[in-house]
Every structure is written in structure tokens, then in C-alpha cells.
Structure 1
Amino acid sequence: MSVTLTKTSKNTPLLIHNSYSYTIDRKTVTKILWKCEYSRKYSCHGRLHTTSNYELIKIVGEHENHVGNSRCAATRKYFEKLKQESEQNHTTPHNILTQVNIGVPDEVRVQLPTNYNLKRNVRRWRQVTTTAPTPTTIDFPAIPTKYHQTTRNTIFFRKDTGSDNIHKILALAFIETTIVANAFELLCTNLDDNYQQILDYIEGNYIGRRRGRIRRQASYPIDFWGMMERVKNNMHRSNNNVEGWYRE
């Protein structure tokens, strides 16, 4: 009986022969030695030797403590095809399932998870292959290019305003009110004179200008626009408690 080559969930080679699955144990110059995928879980001694081109040479040992699965090869092939389509096809998970399920025998279908879980797999595989690395600092240089368009190649992000500190001023509303002034001063030290006019405006209206060692009252005090406590308490971020009331 011939062997079937597929891959594990970790994308490593998996050989299927006579309803049993094998993973690579070790390699030599001329052949590959395979061990039962349950060699550790069930202490199975089933082994198999192939050439470097995956042609069967001989079977060694017996699968004494577990039975094979006649549907194993077809099921694994199904998941391999589903993963491949998920990574290469940008259509919806529902459409991918519809396409992959064409011609799948009923005995394989009964072995599969629900469509909901299969769609979750599609989304997870896509995330692994398409998601850019998560920034580790707030000073990442730019929005990754792959996020400039949708999966349907429609451009929706046309200009990156950059990571200058001037864009971080809005974040002052989400830190402790007692350190807002210090945080504002820290941002100011990292901006050049080109931003002085807007910094003066923000300081006068929202922070309070310095007068000696203290600051004057701002036109809009920090306690008025600070959102830290509201976010912590899962409250509305609007200061207007009746906002939208007239729409009721």
C-alpha cells in the first residue's frame, strides 16, 4: 500500500500508511525513519522507513496499543486544503468552506468540527500569516503597508501622519489627572519650534500656564476633560449626562 504525505498542525511532515500516522524520527543520507505519532502518548513501537523521496521501504514494529483510523488521511487532507485556501484566498470564511466542502465524502464530514469552529480556524490561520508584528513601543515608525488596504485590495489608508509626539496629545485624556501636566511637559521637550503655536494653545486652554512654581487655572480644567476614571469605571466617556436624550 502506498504512503500519503501531508502535514501536522505545526506544519511538519506527516506520513500516513495503512490508517496509521507517522512523524519524522530521524534522517540519514538515503532514507527517512518515521515513528508513530502516538509513540510518546501510547508508547507505541510502530516504525516505518522510506527513501528520501518518501517511497516505502519497510515497516518495523507493531501498533499494539491503539488502532488506526481509516479516515485519518482524508481528514488531514481536508484540513491541509482548508488552511491553504485560507492563506491564499481572500474571500469570506463561509465561501471558503463552501468551496472546500465540494466533493468531501460523508464519512469525512462526520469527523469534522462544526462550521463555526472551522471558520474560526480560517480566521486564525489568516491572522498568523497576514498580521504584522505587534509594536513593542509607542514610537513605532509607521503603519505597516499591509494595513493600507482591505483584503479586497481596496485602499482605505492613504496617508500616515507619523508617530510624532504631537499625535500623542489626545492620549493625555486617558492618564491620571495628577500627572497630565508632567506628561504634557515631557511631550513638549520632544517637539521642535514648529509646534510651539499649538502647544501654547493647548497649555493655555487645557493645562494651565505656568506662573512661577504653580500653574494658572486653564479655561477647561483637566478634571473637566480627563477620562481616566470614566474608563476605569466603565462609564460613558461623554461629560454630558443627557447627551442624546432628545433622540429618545
Structure 2
Amino acid sequence: MSIFVLSTTEKNKPLLICKRYNYTIDKTNDTKVYWKCEYCRTIKCKGRIHSDINFTTILHENDAHNHPPKVANTEVRMFHDKIRTRVITTHEGTQCVIDNCLKDTSNEMVALLPNFKHIKRNIQRQRKKNDLPQVPQDKHFT
């Protein structure tokens, strides 16, 4: 059916991105996962997707959205997800993580990002939460 990307929310819950719309898990059963549009509560959007339990194929799509897709917001989500995974998998400095994640991003997305000092603080919190070692500050560290 459609091409989709799996990501995570700020609370590390699964997030499905399909046709530039973001979906969170509504409910699950033995064979299916039911996804709802992220705006189902705020503006009563009726967009829904059903996928298999392994998140590999989309079984049903309901494109009854009452709002246009917000492309830049989706890019911001992917940026934050990229930062989270990079912080966990590498031992780069905070600014280096941001620089590597900012490659190939649009100007609209960069305009929607929070202040960089807040992004840096989130990176430091993520490192502390995962008990990762601090980046050495000593220039003569060996």
C-alpha cells in the first residue's frame, strides 16, 4: 500500500509516519495494530491506519484527515529521533551530534527547532538517563 516510516515519540512510544501524517497507537489485538492521527484529540481528526502486529505492512488506510499534513513538524520529529539514537550509539560531543543531525535538513525545519541550548540540554539529559560516560573536557585526555 503506502510507504511508511517508524519513529518514536518523546515518550519513546512507537510513531508511524505515512504520507506526511503522524500516527500513534490507538489499540492492539492479536493480529493488528490500530493507529490514530496525532490530532485525533485536539481537532477531532478521523485519520486511521491498521497495520500488522510486526509493523511491517499497512492493512487498511482511512485518509479522512480534516487538516493538511505538516511536513516541517514531521521533519522536526525525525530530527529529534535521529538525535536520540545518535546520542545512545556514539560518543560524540554534544555540538558534533547536532551538526551531524542537521545535515540535509530544510530551512523550514530549522526555523521550527527550539533554541540550540535546549537541544544541547536534552542531549545531556539523554546521556545521563542512559548512564553513558561524559564526554571528556580535558584537552590532554588519552
Q: TM-score, normalising length from structure 2? A: 0.80
Identity of aligned residues (%): 29
1:60 equivalent in structure 2: 62
Q: What is the Cα deviation at residue 151 of structure 1?
A: 4.1
2:13 and 2:36 map into 1 onto residues whose CA distance is: 13
Mapping 1:168-207, distance limit 5 Å: none
Q: Which has the higher helix share?
A: 1
- Aligned partner of 2:7 in structure 1 is 6
Q: Deviations over 1:186-227 (max 9, x none)?
A: xxxxxxxxxxxxxxxxxxxxxxxxxxxxxxxxxxxxxxxxxx
Deviation at 1:95, TM superposition (A): 1.7
Bigger relative contact order, structure 1 or 2, given CA contacts below 8 A and separation 6+? Answer: 2
Distance in 2, Cα, partners of 1:93 & 1:17: 30
SS in 2 for 1:95: helix
What does the per-residue CA deviation read over 1:15-73, in whole Å, with 9 as the maximum and x for residues that have no partner? 11122111111112222111111222222222111122331222236222x33212333
Distance in 1 of aligned mates of 2:114 and 2:122? 10
Helix, strand or coil: the match of 1:110? helix
Match of 1:206 in 2: none
Aligned residues of 2:36 and 2:46 also touching (Cα < 8 A): yes
Corresponding residue of 1:112: 113
Long gaps (5+) in structure 2: none
Query: In structure 2, how many angstroms separate the alpha carbons of the residues matched to 1:61 and 1:17?
Result: 10
User: Which one has a larger percent strand, Structure 1 or Structure 2?
Assistant: 2
Aligned residue type for 2:46 = H
Q: How many residues align?
A: 135
CA displacement 1:81-100 (0-9 Å, x = unmatched): 11112233333211211222
Q: State the one-letter code of the partner of 1:113.
A: P
Return the letter of the residue paired with 1:74. Answer: E
Amino acid at match of 2:98: L
Instruction: State whether residues 93 and 135 of structure 2, in contact with CA within 8 Å, keep that contact through their aligned partners in structure 1.
Output: no
Distance 1:14 1:97 in 2: 22
CA–CA distance in structure 2, aligned partners of residues 45 and 100 of structure 1? 33
Q: Which residue of 1 aligns with 2:34?
A: 33
- Change beyond 3 A, Cα 1:57–1:72: farther
Once residues 44 and 69 of structure 1 are traced to their aligned partners in structure 2, the CA distance between those partners, rounded to angstroms, is 14
| Structure whose CA Rg is larger | 1
